[in-house]
Amino acid sequence: MKEISGGVCAATGFRANAAYCGVKGKGPEKPDVALILSEQECAAAAVYTLNRVKAAPLYVTMEHLEDGSAWGVVVNSGGANACCPKGHENAQAMCAAAAQATGREAEDFVVASTGVIGQALNISAIEAGIPGIAAGLSGENSGLAAQAIMTTDRTQKEIAFSLELGGKEVKIGAIAKGSSMIHPNMGTMLCFITTDCAITPQMLEEALRDVTARTFNRVVVDGDASSNDLCAALANGMAGNPLIEWKDEDYETFLKALEAVCTHMARAIAGDGTGSTKLITCQVRSARSEEGAERLAKSVVSSDLVKASMFSCDPHWGRVMIAMGCSKAPFRPEHVDIYFRSAAGEVLACIRGEAAPLDMDKAQKILDQKEVVIDVDLHEGDQQAVCWGCDLTADYIKINGSYRS
């Protein structure tokens, strides 16, 4: 498997485009509506936010994917279409506009929105812009589509890989957005994955759910979960590989590629947390169970005190220990070792639950990097888990405090 360019257009038969339609009605003129379209019908699957408050586009997408197929995606930023008048009607109208512009049916589309909750969607702007977007669909426009779904994101997020299945080259790519209201079980994030792999809808859904549990559901920025979160995967089979119908060797190879895509995106979302200066990775190893390790790691990257310490480059391992203790996962504190690691080196801060001799200058240099790893060794078993988060800064409050402006 190797990384390639192209994002959601890397796989054979997928095109994309996006443009500024004025959905928000103010602000910079960045692309805010995007289309992704396949040349052939796709096996399709999606996972959704577990928040009880779900935006109208999610319910429409659920309806459209009941048969396990789709042809494309229509998505906007600048308005969440959640908890607002005519939400379901407007989500359907987006699909109808995409269908009319591309010669498909409304039911052929995944639909998604992101932006401010509670405000009526500017559907007229979207409907007016979609024909032009459809006319410009291209295999070169993944980057434009990635820009169109950004809100408080500072960087556009796209990735693609190629791999071999059954003697055929298979490609898989994605775009994503997310920077705040990020919490396990999906946060304010959207991710659209495209592949030319031949795989059944059942196997695609199982793979997506499996991978999401180990990637996107292990990201924490601020502990909030949104109403609009969606991760959808479309597979058009145009690579010509033998159809994946079972959990065989080809399925496992595809699963690894899908996990590579989602891991890249999960890290990108965590590292782009609103106002953040660094990505925090917490690895908990030598645990009794993967579930327990995940709960411990999640608790660490969720802790505001740990996040604040990482911002100030303070190797405060005690805060890591206390965060673990709040997780309700079983572990023995007296057996715990805690390391801080980055491109600048590694220090052991806690050994067997007590302070280790620590070079403070070295530790601070290690923490003064764009990515910091908190490595926790429980000395209890052979299971492990990794979760991702970011530091907490004053800019988080400033940016989210002015989100509606």
Please state the rounded mean pLDDT for residues 179-201.
75
Confidence of residue 400 (pLDDT cuts 50, 70, 90): low
What does the alpha-carbon distance between residue 133 and residue 140 come to, in Å, rounded to a whole number? 13
Residues 302-330 have pLDDT tens digits of 999 999 999 999 999 999 999 999 999 99
**DSSP states of 284-343:** EEEES-HHHHHHHHHHHHH-HHHHHHHHTT---HHHHHHHHHTT-----GGG-EEEEEET
Confidence of residue 185 (pLDDT cuts 50, 70, 90): very low
Q: Given this model, what pLDDT does residue 227 score?
A: 76
Burial class (CB within 10 angstroms; exposed 0-12, middle 13-18, buried 19+) of 31: buried
pLDDT value at 182 more than 50: no
Task: Looking at 194-303, list the stretches that DSSP marks H as alpha helix, in order from N- to C-terminal side.
Answer: 201-214, 249-271, 290-302
User: What percent of the chain is modeled with pLDDT above 70?
Assistant: 94
What does the alpha-carbon distance between residue 49 and residue 189 come to, in Å, rounded to a whole number? 9
What does the alpha-carbon distance between residue 35 and residue 19 come to, in Å, rounded to a whole number? 9
Annotation: CATH topology of 2-271: L-amino peptidase D-ALA esterase/amidase (3.60.70)
Please state the rounded mean pLDDT for residues 84-96.
97
Annotation: CATH topology of 279-401: Ubiquitin-like (UB roll) (3.10.20)
Which run of H or E residues covers position 129?
helix 123-135
pLDDT value at 403 more than 70: no
pLDDT value at 190 more than 80: yes
- Could you state, in order of their start, the residue ranges of all structural domains in the chain? 2-271, 279-401
Q: Given this model, what pLDDT does residue 199 score?
A: 98
Radius of gyration, CA atoms only, the chain: 22
Please state the rounded mean pLDDT for residues 75-92.
96
What does the alpha-carbon distance between residue 241 and residue 174 come to, in Å, rounded to a whole number? 20
- Give the catalytic positions in this structure: 188
Q: Which residue from 69, 71, 74, 77 is spatially nearest to 91, judged by alpha carbons?
A: 74
Residues 113-167 have pLDDT tens digits of 999 899 999 999 999 999 999 999 999 999 999 999 998 788 899 999 999 999 9
Q: Could you count the other beta carbons within 10 Å of the beta carbon of residue 245?
A: 13
Q: Given this model, what pLDDT does residue 180 score?
A: 42
Which run of H or E residues covers position 90?
helix 87-102
